[in-house]
Structure 1
């Protein structure tokens, strides 16, 4: 019904990053039972209700397609996300924006299996994806020595010092709880990296309050 656009009564218009405009037909009834945001949108005198058009300029068309497929079919297509995890982050953004709880949970589950740990953690923090954030934090903590050498981790302090401090706090807690599980040499290397990052973060962002951010 959705892919054939039979009887559609509203249109998603996607204009993302100056790319060619992409349109998807949809049914108000389906959208309203799936999302309290869409329900409010179509029950009031908002422009989307008056024009029967929902303009999306902050998410790519493929993620909008995946969202609509989920709303109509009840299944999240994983292959596009596995090929390009940024699409998954965009779906997570849409699920949070339109308060589609079950889609958010399914997207979290797919994303937590991917290897882009720092970017996934940042997205989970930004979009209040509680389960995904917990899993990502634990993964980053368990692989701290390796991940702390990546460009993504080094940029985390600039883009999101609050989240970096959260990571470092968890690492400290784990180190205090399980010191017997670390070999001496690895422990020394680990703490050298950790201490450097902690001091650098304190010096660089002392007194600053920066907004959370994630690269597009």
Structure 2
């Protein structure tokens, strides 16, 4: 994590764990919009959303502040389903001041997400140990869970789950993909020609549909120039378009070409498949190119993966301090923009990589 990122994480920890009153606007004004709400803060390795659940008195005494902070954090990228490592040994005890020993309840945080942690507290409270009345606290926790559930539902609607596809369906479309004698569209790439069926392209991409049905040369000749793209990248794009899979083992540069084409031609399914696979390819050599693509194409999940990788890599942090990345990558990692140097940049079928 960069020095700026570490300082901001420490500030968030101090704000959430030590202040008597929570003021959402104060924290908003002190943090950049790209602060990573999934990173651990403090010495105990907790993520910010779980830190909100440390103190029942503060939570119930400032219910509006608690819920406003939770809502803002969720909207800013906090993940209510993100689990702490199972080996995390942090635990917390809650009790009522008039009968501390009789009413004490304890929950270990290891392995919990913010959602399951809130549920664990609710279960412990429902026992009413020592005759405790946790009515205010349970009310806060239930509203917190409502916010979390709404966030999960919204994200699920935006990113619907992958539907399994039978191998027989894949094989049919693979056969169609390989019927090169019936291909009637030619992509002219930087290093050769790649072909496809116009009917598939028309159905998949509004951009390609407009090009192929126009009176311009693409429509009349069925030739599309992509001389800024490699043939391997175009082929990967078409593999994913036809079958959602590939026999090849593409490197990250080929993946980025396919991502760029899918984004350019508005084929969201291929954008999703490729961007979901790219976090597995993050390395020191590939980081700058993948992070730049994530920022320029507005791919939030890939941006979060890049921030997480960058915060843990000493080599990336050294490059960040040296201003070696483009300005938007510097900002993604929480550093000020600089005059950055541009970065130089046995097989089986791989299903969604």
1:111 aligns with 2:278: yes
Give the structure 2 partner of residue 149 of structure 1. 318
Aligned to 1:8: 183
The separation in 2 between residues aligned to 1:153 and 1:31, in whole angstroms, is: 44
1:107 Cα offset (Å)? 0.7
2:242 is the counterpart of 1:100: no
Q: For this pair of structures, how many residues does the alignment match?
A: 167
Which whole-Å deviations, capped at 9, do the CAs of 1:96-149 have from their partners, x for residues lacking one? Answer: 1111111111111111111233331112112332221122123212x1544222
Question: What is the alpha-carbon root mean square deviation over aligned residues?
Answer: 2.7
Q: Could you tell me which residue of structure 2 aligns to residue 190 of structure 1?
A: none
Structure 2 SS opposite 1:155: coil
TM, length-normalised to structure 2? 0.43
- Indicate whether 1:167 and 2:337 are aligned: no
Identify, as 1 or 2, the structure richer in helix.
Answer: 1
Q: Is 1:56 aligned with 2:226?
A: yes
Conservation of the 8 A alpha-carbon contact between 1:109 and 1:132: yes
Quickly say closer, same or farther: Cα 1:146–1:74, change in 2 above 3 A. Answer: closer
In structure 2, relative to structure 1, the CA distance for the partners of 1:138 and 1:23 (3 Å cut) is same
Q: Which runs of 5+ in 1 are unaligned?
A: 170-197
Q: Tell me, what secondary structure is at the counterpart of 1:108?
A: helix
User: 1:153 deviation in Å?
Assistant: 6.9
1:130 aligns to 2:300 (yes or no): yes
Give the SS at the match of 1:54.
Answer: strand
Distance (whole Å) between structure 2 residues aligned to residue 78 and residue 154 of structure 1: 35
User: Which protein shows a greater Rg?
Assistant: 2
Partner of 2:215: 45
Instruction: Output the CA distance in 2 between the equivalents of 1:50 and 1:75.
Output: 31
More moved, 37-46 vs 48-57? 37-46
The answer to whether the 8 Å contact 1:123/1:214 transfers is no
CA contact (8 A) 2:259 2:275 kept: yes
The answer (yes or no) to whether the contact 1:122–1:214 under 8 Å persists in 2 is no
Look up the match of 1:185.
none
**Secondary structure of residue in 1 paired with 2:233:** helix
Q: Distance in 2 between matches of 1:78 and 1:106?
A: 15
Would you say the 8 A contact 2:323–2:330 is kept in 1? no
For 1:126 and 1:103, locate their aligned partners in 2 and report how far apart those are by CA, in whole Å: 17
Give the C-alpha shift of residue 86 in structure 1.
0.9
1:53 Cα offset (Å): 0.5
1:213, CA displacement in angstroms?
6.3
